[in-house]
A and B are shown apart, each in its own frame.
Chain A
Amino acid sequence: MKKNTTNKIRLGIFVSFGIAILIVGLYFIGEKQQMFSDTFHISGIFKDVADLQVGSNVRFLGINVGTVENINIVSDSSVSVEILIDEDTQKYIKKDAIASIGSEGLMGNKILLINTGPGREKEMENNDIIKTTPPINIDEVLLSLKTTIDNTSSITKDLALISNRIQSGKGTIGMLLMDESLAQDFNTGLHNLSEGSAGLKNLMEDAQISFDKNFDSTLVNLRESSEGFKILMDKAKSSWLLWGF
């Protein structure tokens, strides 16, 4: 009888713990989805939601603050996305905040990003409509990439043609680089220029020497003549013919 009671107690503990684990687990899952916290509701109009789904996370400053509650097509060019956000973050999200669609990592799920706006507006209120920016469309990126690749292909084709022409000695650059006689002429010219410059150097040296010699003798003559002139002037001063001057 006692054993039977013990077994029943054990069974009770087993069942209670099992149910408690389930409840705690469900609570944490629900809490992450803002099911047990106060929330406020905003919405945004997008041209394209790029595979954003109901239940996707809403991230503000890198923190998950809410979930996408509903997605509805409004017209042929606009989709309304209703967002539930934790009420604690309401004071930080201003009216000029901008919503965009991003992804979790390179290959992750789509998420809704709320970015802080440029100004200092009032905080977002319940049922407000948030400004949006169109998501980066992978198809458009690929299209742009294709254009770039096409252009690159065309450029490389032209470069290959130019390279071939240069290699075959066509055109000015081709002749310059590939014609051997031109190179020889160029070498000869350089050699001549080198010789010419050596001759010029010698000539200049000779001229320098000659100039130095002539200049020295000119200076000596000049000094001698100035001395003679000085004597002459002294004599003239003492002559009676120039009294009074």
Chain B
Amino acid sequence: MRAMVSRLNSAVSGLFLFAFVAVMPTLVQAQSVNEGQSVRALTTDSSGALLVLRQSGLFALDSQNTTEIPLPPSDSGAQPRSMAKGADGSLYLSGPGLGIWRYDEASKRWQSLNDTLPDLGVTAIAAHATQAKTLYAYLGASGMFRSRNGGAEWVKVDSGPREPVQAFLHSDMPGSMESGWLFAGTTRGVARSMDCFCFWGDAGELRGTVSAIDYDPSAPENVYAVIEGQLHHSSDGGETWAGLEIPQAVTALTFSPSEGLVVGTKNGELLSRNASGEWVPVYE
């Protein structure tokens, strides 16, 4: 009997040790993913959870949990860089060497949308604000592409602004000849065109390399752009800009249904404004 108890004891101890060794790295990783790693891109999913792209991976974040979403399969040189949320809530991910992928929440799998793209050098994507099947992609030297069927077929529509595009946005701000506006963050500032691709002009006189751009869907004239870590705001659709004071260098931004404007920082933090307008950590 004593031998049996002893054997059981050591089996249970072994099981605990195994479980500890197996689970510990995940716990350590889960704790460290959000610390110190610059936020590359931000968006929200169909339920309003924040989706945070860092070097270590992609994470869904709500007030309760943080869940890692495995990235799509790709070559080692691929650089996930840009995310967009479709009008139907679909998540799109892109980057140089990666092309464009859509995440299917039901099956938890990524679907490649690269069949008709000329190459995988996608530096920026945008999803139409109101048309779920319309997507835009910028492929550097290959120019700008549009798909009207959810990525099944891409058609080159334009060369894009003169300077290379780093960030891309479709907005349903009123006043367009067609269905909205395109804002492109370039190495020179923000360029703007109606979504007919009629012509690209300067959106105001903001100058510098734009690394992120977004707008307030509930007040579409409000556009936000990041230049060298500094957040800028336009309340007139990009005609004039003003810098916003923020305690850290900003690297990404999005609009959350619950938090409003959320920024990701170089230090890895996520900040939003409280009722007093102060920047505070999200979900704290």
Q: Do A and B bind each other?
A: no
Q: Which of B's residues lie within 8 Å of A, judged by CB?
A: none
